[in-house]
Chain A
Amino acid sequence: MKYILPKHELNALLERWSAEYAVLAPQKAGAYSEFLPFTAQSELCLEEPHNTRYPPKALFFPQSEAILKYKRNLGQLESIEAVPQKRVIFGIRPCDAKAVTLLDTVFAEGDNQDPFWLARRAETLLIGLGCNEPGATCFCTSTESGPFHTDGLDALLTDLGGEYLIELLSERAAGLFSGLESASSAQQENAQAVQTAAEQALPKAFELDGLKDKLDRVFDQDVWAQLSESCLGCGICTFLCPTCFCFDLVDEAQRDTRVRNWDTCMFRVYSLEASAHNPRPTRKERTRQRLMHKYSYWWEHAGKLGCTGCGRCVRYCPVGLDIRAMLRKASAYESEALHAN
């Protein structure tokens, strides 16, 4: 089902949803945009071609979260209740929505599923907004995703200028669009044109076919030292990444809680063992782990690529390391060096 929503009626629609759902939408926060609760005074931030600076994975997997409460009288830890909340996340970009489905493969599948993740996912609708003009640092078309991909979305909006074309993608979101006028075939064709134009406006940044095998083959080559030469070893690329899920469990004694914090393979202490041995002593091994996890191991775990090409790690790396260039250099190194001798 496809609907039409004039832009000037958007706020009213979000307000209508607010009666039943907690609505979150990207809004201005200093120089960047952030998912904040929608209120009548909200000034939405939808024109920016790029997504929010802080990844929306935090709406399901908060950076710091108490998961266990210490009962002093019993001397034991008890779980903190994970309460589902009816939410609508409006204006999430396709690359971020797909990233949430990738995190489902970690927290919502197999054994030991995560109650906190599931509680936040169960009643939350994702209403996506496609990118008519992907930015210079976006590369979703290179990672089996795209400016109008629908993975993980309950509905997808296409910006037609004066109005949005809304494509309903899941039953549970049907109620949100009741009463909207359905889209004419002309409007549907226009949307299709906008979508294909956006797709073509973003050439492939690297060749994905065979990339996994190439990376596996160059695992112990010197190329990783060259790629990570100027890396500072900070946590920006992983904390801002919508698919990174590594976490740390830490006791906050005076708060009587055991807390789960985001962690990153780029830090030295991440793999430092009690014996002081560190299997990843320098930035070379850590950069290799970051790339291999997304472009090789994730494939073996879940048959999917662990990156959706959102471009945050490219935009905010303080020393300008560009994962697209790193992947191109790694596969070029593989074809030259390994086949040369």
Chain B
Amino acid sequence: MDNKPKIAFFQCQWCLYAPEDQEWVDSRLPENIHLIKVPCTGRIDPLFVLNAVQGGADGVVISGCLPEKCHFKEGNLAARRQLVEFTSFLDYIGYDQERVRFVWLDLQDRGRIQRELADFESQISRLGPAESLATRVPLSEGGAND
């Protein structure tokens, strides 16, 4: 488990239309991927993403619905503007923009989330661990004291 990159996966609970994809995410997600289900990508506050980054996440995946498909009509529009800028801001202070991937899912996408996560994991493995801003890693996982 420890050599695999730690990934924080923010999943909008509406975006996986196929029940088997949702079932895979809910119960057969690889151990190194930490699932955070949110009612909508619009609910994802930059604080959540920063909390994940400071907690030692080597990569962050944010999956939501395509425009005009959002259950709440415009949650994804707000999220994209804010979180894309936050990603560029984190990159500005050293957390590589490549470590954040947005997955905007369509109605008929099937099994895409598994492919995206696998592809993302290999991309992150190439980048290696992201220690620079990992300041809140729990002690039980070998986090540093202050």
Contacts and interface: CB of A to CB of B under 8 A. Distances in A.
Given A66-B146, A72-B140, A254-B136, 17 more contacts: A64-B146, A66-B145, A252-B146, A254-B55, A254-B137, A254-B138, A254-B139, A254-B143, A255-B136, A255-B138, A255-B139, A255-B143, A255-B145, A255-B146, A256-B139, A257-B145, A259-B146
6 cross-chain pairs, A with B, having the tightest CB-CB distances, nearest first: A254-B138, A256-B139, A254-B136, A255-B139, A255-B146, A255-B145
Interface residues of B, number: 9
Contacts of B143: 254-255
Interface string B24-52: 00000000000000000000000000000
Main secondary structure of the interface of A (DSSP, over half): strand
A98 to B, nearest CB: 31
A66 B139 CA distance: 14
Interface string A43-66: 000000000000000000000101
Nearest to B54: A254
A254 B139 CA distance: 7
Name the residue in A66, A72, A252, A255 with the highest tally of chain B Cβ atoms < 10 Å from its Cβ. A255
Contacts of A259: 146
Interface string B118-146: 00000000000000000011111001011
A250 to B, nearest CB: 12
A273 B136 CA distance: 29
Interface of A: 64, 66, 72, 252, 254-257, 259
B76 to A, nearest CB: 30
Nearest to A72: B140
A257 B144 CA distance: 12
Contacts of B145: 66, 255, 257
A259 B140 CA distance: 18
Nearest to B138: A254
A142 B139 CA distance: 50
A255 B140 CA distance: 9
10 contacts: A72-B140, A252-B146, A254-B137, A255-B136, A255-B138, A255-B145, A255-B146, A256-B139, A257-B145, A259-B146
Nearest to A254: B138
Q: Which of B55, B136, B139, B140 is packed against the most chain A CB atoms within 10 Å? A: B139
A255 B142 CA distance: 10
Contacts of B55: 254
A204 B136 CA distance: 49
A64 B135 CA distance: 15
A243 to B, nearest CB: 26
A257 B146 CA distance: 10
Nearest to B136: A254
Contacts of A64: 146
A78 B109 CA distance: 53
A25 to B, nearest CB: 25
A257 B143 CA distance: 13
Nearest to A70: B139
Nearest to B145: A255
Contacts of B136: 254-255
Contacts of A254: 55, 136-139, 143
A115 B48 CA distance: 37
Contacts of A66: 145-146
B43 to A, nearest CB: 22
A139 to B, nearest CB: 36
B100 to A, nearest CB: 22
Contacts of A256: 139
Nearest to B51: A254
A281 B67 CA distance: 45
Nearest to A259: B146
Contacts of B137: 254
Contacts of A72: 140
Contacts of A257: 145
A41 to B, nearest CB: 28
Interface in B50-103: 55
B55 to A, nearest CB: 7
A255 B54 CA distance: 13
Contacts of B138: 254-255
